[in-house]
Amino acid sequence: MLLLAGCASTPSADEQELAATMQEHGSDTPVASPMTAYAPAQPVSGKAVVYTTVDGQQIEGWLARPTNATGELPALIVIHEWWGLNDNVRRAAERLAGEGYVTLAVDLHNGNTAATPKAAMKMGRVLSENKETAIANLKDAIAYLQTEVGVTQIGVMGWCQGGNWSLQTALNFPADIDATVIYYGRVTDNPEELQVLDMPVLGIFAGDDFIVPPQMAYSFATAMAKLKKDLEFYMYRDAAHAFSNPSGTEYNQEAAADAWQHTTAFLTRNLKAQPTE
């Protein structure tokens, strides 16, 4: 009897990323990293706000701003890792607010957070299967900042899964985003996709990264250079993926401190600079 084996389908890029993330973080936990231990540079206040709805469910983000700030501030959309919008991400958003921003930490997992890699992977699969919902979520985050908070300058920043969604926000809403920060998120080298990026982009990557390997990051940088896009690029060769995350056990003090300095300087130049007359 002749048995013909069926052809196995090739996993999608999303499935490959989730499998790689599970391999990288299979023994990780969403503990607060040292990144969250730093106090903001100035007093800040934070509160939960409803900024969108999904299938009738109100979705809350975390809005933070300097307590004593007056006048209009630039804004920063902060996108969580695969663990979801937990207290660690809220503290990271407050630390960023201390640099002189209104920060909105969004929730792409609709109120869910994960305590184990298995639960995080399940949430990640749901997210990858509902990308249009996530794009609508981010669109509403931009609208909330523009209409409810009254900002005119908006940046976006995320780590890991959130780094990929930081890029997706910029690709989908280039007219609304003034600066984009990607911490070791999956990137593309497709020139047709990248062509719309008219804002400055900061890419921070890890050399010891199984999820977003250096080759992927360098291909992205090469494509951006060919398109003459404004990319500031850093590769931390001795750091592992998630080396500056709010949650997890891969924190690298030296690399994270250097990346923070580059991040705050980049945001200052591109979100706080006064327009020339």
Q: How far apart are CA 97 and CA 95, in angstroms?
A: 5
The fourth-level CATH superfamily of domain 13-272 is Alpha/Beta hydrolase fold, catalytic domain (3.40.50.1820)
Predicted pLDDT of residue 4: 41
Is 160 a catalytic site residue?
A: yes
Pairing relation of β-strands 102-105 and 201-208? unpaired
**Which residue in the list 25, 160, 176, 178 is annotated as catalytic?**
160
Find the helix packing angle between 13-25 and 117-128, rounded to 10°.
170
Contact (Cβ atoms closer than 8 angstroms) between residue 180 and residue 167: yes
Is 262 a catalytic site residue?
A: no
How many helices (H) and strands (E) the chain has is answered by: 8, 8
**Which residue in the list 28, 107, 176, 209 is annotated as catalytic?**
209
Residue with tokens 């008219």: 198
pLDDT tens-place string over residues 197-207: 999 999 999 99
Single pTM value for the model = 0.93
Is 7 a catalytic site residue?
A: no
Predicted pLDDT of residue 9: 54
Predicted pLDDT of residue 153: 97
- DSSP-derived secondary structure for 115-155: SSHHHHHHHHHHHHT-HHHHHHHHHHHHHHIIIII--S-EE
Q: How far apart are CA 63 and CA 107, in angstroms?
A: 12
Q: How far is CA 144 from CA 51, 69, 96, 117, 273, in A?
A: 6, 19, 19, 31, 23
**Residues facing residue 208 across a β-bridge:** 240
Give the residues of the chain that fall short of pLDDT 50.
1-8, 276-277
Domain boundaries, the chain: 13-272
